Structure formats: C-alpha cells, structure tokens
Structure 1
Amino acid sequence: MCETSSRAERHISVLLHEALDGLGCENPGMFLDATVGCGGHSAAIVARHPDNRLIGVDQDEVALQIARERLQEFGDRVTLYHARHEAFDRVALEWAQAHGIEAPKFQGMLFDLGVSSVQFDDAERGFSFQRSGWLDMRMDASTLPESGALTAYQVVNMYEEKALADVFFRYGEERQSRRIARKIVEARAAAPIETTTQLAEIVDRAIPKKFQQKGIHPATRVFQAIRIEVNGELRELGDTLERAVAFLAPGGRLCVISFHSLEDRIVKQTFARLAKGCECPPSCPVCICGKTPQIALVSKKPVTPSEEEVRLNPRSRSAKLRIVERL
C-alpha cells in the first residue's frame, strides 16, 4: 500500500454524516468542497448518488495528492484545484469555462475550516508541539521562501513584543499574551527560536501553573494564534461565505465546520446578517435599504459531534457545523 493510501485510510472526516445530511447530497447535483483535505467528505458526497459531480479546492498540495488518489475511482465526476478556499468562485468559473457552461449553481457547498490531520501529523510542517519540527505552519507548503510567504519562524523571531502579544490575544484569546510575548523576546535575544518544542517549552515556562488549564497544553492557544496569523485564516472568511451564498441554487445548502470560537463567531454573524436581510436602523419605520433575506438558518444552534465520535476522534471535540439554505 502506498503512503498516500495509508494516510487517506487513517484520516477521519469530522461530522461526516451530519454534513452529508445537511448538504442533501442524496439528491443529484453539483457540489463544492472548498477544503478538500484528504478527500473524505468529497468521496462520501459523490458516492451518495451516481449523478453527483464535485469541484474540490485545497491549498495543500500534499493533501490534494492524497485526495486525488482517493477520488480517482469517480473519474471526471470530480475535479480538484490547488487554491485557497477564498478563491472558490474563480475556480468555479474556470471549471465552467472548461465545460462550456455558465457559472455553476451548487446544490451544496462545504467549508471544513482549520488544520487537517495531514498537517498536524507531519512534524516537519510545524503545526504541532507533540514532536519537534521547524516553525513553519504554512498550509500551502508549495510557496517558496523568496515569495515572501509568512512562516511561524518569522512571526516568533521577527515580530515586535507588542505585535506578538496582540496576535496571541486576538487569535488565541490568550490572557497571558503579554507575559508570553515578553518571554519569547527574552529567549530569542540569546538565539533564534527554531523548533516547535522550543517554543512550547518557552510558553510553558512563561505561564504560571495556577493559570494553566488542566488537560490542555499551555502552548495550545499560542500555536493556534500563530497558525491563524501565518495563513490569514480569518481575514476573508465572512466575505467568502457571503460570496458562496451567491453561488448556491435556490434551495441549495451551505455547510461550514469550524473548530474554534473565532471562526464560529464569524460564521454565525455572517449567516445571521444574510438571514435577516434588512439592515435599516430600528428607528426607521419602513425599510429603505431594500435588502431581503438571502438564506434561512436550517438550525439556530450548531451541530456538534456525538460522544461516540469524540471518543473515536478526539480532534473533533471542538467542531461545530452550521447549515443554511438559499432562498
């Protein structure tokens, strides 16, 4: 068995059945997986009906190679592209042009945000502090250093102390952000911080034991914050979801799986705004903005993993699935 096949089999898709039900992919149609990863969700979507077709997008070439092998049995029913999920509309139009049709209207669109198991499990990618690896954290590892792509090494070693603290507080909601930033700056004054375990040890020493949460490594929030900064994960999320709605067919579903409160907050607020429509102030007796609801919330509360799923896949414990339907 080749390495890519082995990785695909080890990969566990989060909230798989819930996402499939939310997308309504038992009915034939065109679907988009904007974050293909290892292809678990994509394979299940296409397998649900023999007439289902899917466009898949991912910025990680390693994950895409695994997905290509996993999805090859579906032939031309699946087309994969190397791109960030924010570029889904460009990809969809490129696909349409290649097939001689107008812009596709999707029956279902899936955004599975966050880090894939392929990225976490490869120490060289620098996403995890479980094993030592260079401070990288780029989701698109194909970018060359000379391209100016930001890395975790640059954030940790080149950001000023205040900027570091701001990143930890904004993207990690880390209350000890200033203390951690100060200790990092002190440590790098002696020698550059190069590996994940070096950084994790510095953070561990920076946070007093009384402030450390039981069962969670003290560096968890810091690593999350740096990863978000490196990849610009939240920068265009709200705008991307709003553009995604415009690509849905009437009655089409948009499903978003998020893994931390910052992502989920943006998803929730964006969906609430698009479901409300009118943006006039309460003082206006009648609507003058002319905006109408674009979507309906399938459920007000997010879908979360079952106890059984969390037991089988602990990484799913923080996942939240929100589903909306195009009006």
Structure 2
Amino acid sequence: MGEIMERVSLPEVLEKVRAGERVNRAEARILFEADLFELGELAREIRFRLHPEPIVTYVVDRNINYTNICVSGCKFCAYYRSPGDPGGYLLSFEELARKIEETLTLGGYQILLQGGLHPDLPLSYYEEMLSFIKERFPRIHVHGFSPPEIVFFARREGLSIEEVLRRLIAAGLDSIPGGGAEILVDRVRRRISPNKCSAEEWLSVMRIAHRLGLKTTATMMFGHIETLEERVEHLFRIRELQDETGGFTAFIPWPFQPGNTALSVPKATPVEYLRTLAVSRIVLDNVPNLQASWVTQGPKVAQVALEFGANDFGSTMIEENVVAAAGVAHRLSEEEMRRIIRAAGYEPRRRRMDYSLLE
C-alpha cells in the first residue's frame, strides 16, 4: 500500500476522472475528500458511460440461510450461533423445498444459498443439497456458498479449492456470491473475523471460480475498524483480479450494521455510504454493475444512490435474515421496488444473475 502515501492534488484527480483515465491508490484516497455532490456527479457520468440507457435492474430472489451454526465467531455478525447454542438450526431438504416453492410462486427465479461454517457437515452434504434442489427445481438459479464457506469445505475435506468447486458445480452450483469479503486486508480480518479465510484465500476462490466458468459478485462491508486506506486497498484488490479474470458481474458495498453485534462502533451515515459508493464506481471501472443497498440504507437513500453511480437495485429479498438480526429490517415488494425506481426517473427491469434482462 506504499502508493497511498503519495500526495496528489484533488483538482488534478477530478480532472483525470473526467477525462476517463484510471486512478491509482493515492488518487482514490484523495477522492474521499472531494465535495459529495461533485463526487456523485462523476460517478453518475461513469455509470452512464457503462450503461447509456436509463435502466435500473433488479433480481427477484430469496436469501436462504441453510444453517446459522458457525464456528467463525465474527464480531460483526448477530445471526450466527455456536455449535450447541440454543437457537441453532439446520434446514431440512424439505424445508428448503418449501422456501423455493414459495419463491417461485412469488415470481422468483434465483436463490442466494449461504450458511455458517458448520463443523459437522461433509462436502457430500452440500452436493446432495444442490442435487436435491436441481432435481426438484431444475430452472432455479443457485447463487451459493461464499468464499469463506468454500475455503472451510476444502480445509475440512483436505481438498484443493478447485476440487471443491468442481464437485459443487457438478452438483448444480450456478454462481458464487461475494460474501465474506468484509475488507480484503488481513489486519482488519484478524480483528473482526479471525477464524475466517484470509484476503488472499478469498481472492483465490474467486480467481479459480472465474477460471472454471462461474460468474461471481464482489462485496465490501465497510464502516467498522478499517481505515480509508484499507477501504481503497479493498477496491484495488477487486479491480486487479477483475483485470485478470473478468469474472465479477457486480460490486455491492454496504455499511456495517452494529446492532446486536460485538463491535461497538458508530453506524456509518448515509453520506459516508454515498461517498464510498461513488468512489467505488470511479475505481472499479472494469466491474460493469454497481448495486445500491436498500436493505441496509432503506429505499430513500438507495434511490439517491442511483445518482451516485449505482445502476442496480439488488434483490427483492423475499427473505433476509443476517442484516435483520442486527436490527435493520427494511422490506420492499417487487411492485414497491419498481415504483421507487420509476420515481427516480429510471425504467425498472428484471435481470438474471449475469445481468441479462428477463423482460
């Protein structure tokens, strides 16, 4: 991160962005000092360079947490239960089927399948789960198992990341969500999620997944113990891997929600969220889509996010548990989401995980 220490002029950086040139780490750090509205205007320009049509996409899906039993012990998570704790659960396959049937009834066509790092489940369990889902619901898209889960499976089985991914793909895995990234700097990870995979392991899972033909997303959970320099480092690690593989379809930054967690820090403000969103759009010039986080920010701030670089409104989230466990419970129906997008001056369009349009 030595490049961060260089001092560059903010007007020079802004001019460089307007000219369509890439910023480096030092320049990205300076962008956090820009006027909020000027920053938003630049991010909006880049959004329309990438997506000239006034379309805002979204996906109809459901977050299914197949278990909340987890040995990671992340300080930012209010949802997990340690093995043996009251309230721990593992969904049966029939419960999974009921949730998927309800999703299909509500017009959904994708599930986000994630769970805790359960110490007692072999890889064959996850293969059986995927096979069951695909046999019962062959048209459902399974967006599942974030990199920390993949690394955990590999360690438990004594297999390589590639072997685990090949087996999950053969069983029915369609794409991988970008969860578990938090901040891709090990100083931060050692403090907030010491039992989770390292930054390099997270990136390695994504690199191998992309090589095997899986599309994935990338995320950033910010606003806790990281510095702005570490936030910038996270963005550049995503950008550098995307330069290498081109496998990320979207980036989703969202602020840490401190309610009911072991991390006592002030909640990030909407202004900080919008500033980070805009810097993300400017830095990640090679990641095509940027998602607004209405789940953490609420629909009004997410609506403003469409003027700060976001071109996607995320998921209708028929079910969401992890953020809700931190005391944040925004809810939107598909009809409401479409109305909010239209009210902001955009055309709402359903999409698939790969951002191809459904309508």
Task: Please report the TM-score for the alignment, with normalisation by the length of structure 2.
Answer: 0.26
In terms of fraction of residues, the more helix-rich structure is: 1
* Structure of larger gyration radius: 1
**TM-score after normalising by structure 1:** 0.28
Q: Which has the higher contact order (CA 8 A, sep 6+)?
A: 2
